[in-house]
């Protein structure tokens, strides 16, 4: 990676790959979710994720680049771990708890990447890229917050 511009493009490709993987995984998670709220959250985040892919494509276009992903070992690892948690859970309730945790790991990865991409778009003067990347970042934060509220609700229900 010779300079920040190259690193920026690399990170864009990394998250593009990650978003596509996430879009493939979310329907499976929605199908396996026991609670209707969680199912709905996965379905609505799938719609948002498809929007993220489209927004990234506009950023590539803006930079005069072809939209293309590069393998992201981090998201592959996070999703693989999620798969393990899901397949090993002995009941629906435990599986839901595991899926919330796995999905939050995904959101946190996305948040760190988009946070960096926004900062670098500013540094590099890619003015048109800032807003779409910030919009995605906001949706990732909101998705994470929603998952946190589900996790808390579960704890409260258990305590009651």
Which residues in this chain contact Fe ion in the complex, by CB under 5 A?
Answer: 14, 72, 74, 110, 140
Query: Which one, of 53, 65, 72, lies nearest residue 14 by Cα?
Result: 72
Nearest residue relative to Fe ion (C-beta): 72
Least CB distance from residue 80 to Fe ion, whole Å?
14
Least CB distance from residue 157 to Fe ion, whole Å?
25
Closest to Zn ion by CB, 54 vs 155, is: 54
State the binding partner of 72 from Fe ion, Zn ion, none, CB within 5 to 8 A by kind. Fe ion
Query: Which one, of 92, 156, 121, lies nearest residue 9 by Cα?
Result: 121
How far apart (Å, rounded) are the C-alpha atoms in residues 134 and 157? 35
Query: Which one, of 152, 81, 144, 82, lies nearest residue 111 by Cα?
Result: 144
How far apart (Å, rounded) are the C-alpha atoms in residues 50 and 155? 31
Residue 32 interacting with Zn ion (CB under 5 A): no
Least CB distance from residue 141 to Zn ion, whole Å?
11
Nearest residue relative to Zn ion (C-beta): 52
State the binding partner of 96 from Zn ion, Fe ion, none, CB within 5 to 8 A by kind. none
How far apart (Å, rounded) are the C-alpha atoms in residues 37 and 19? 22
* Footprint on this chain of Zn ion (rule: CB under 5 A): 49, 52, 110
């Amino acid at each position: 990676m010779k300079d920040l511009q190259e690193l920026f493009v690399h990170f864009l490709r990394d998250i593009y790959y990650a978003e596509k993987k996430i879009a493939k995984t979310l329907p499976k998670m929605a199908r396996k979710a026991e609670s209707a709220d969680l199912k709905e959250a996965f379905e609505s985040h799938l719609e948002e994720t498809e929007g993220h892919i489209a927004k990234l494509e506009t950023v590539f276009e803006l930079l005069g680049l072809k939209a293309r992903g590069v393998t992201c070992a981090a998201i592959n690892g996070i999703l693989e771990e999620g798969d393990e948690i899901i397949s090993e859970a002995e009941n629906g309730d435990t599986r839901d708890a595991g899926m919330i945790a796995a999905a939050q790991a995904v959101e946190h990865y996305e948040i760190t990447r988009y946070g960096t991409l926004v900062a670098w778009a500013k540094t590099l003067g890619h003015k048109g890229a800032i807003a779409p990347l910030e919009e995605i970042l906001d949706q990732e934060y909101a998705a994470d917050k929603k998952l946190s509220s589900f996790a808390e609700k579960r704890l409260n229900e258990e305590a009651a």
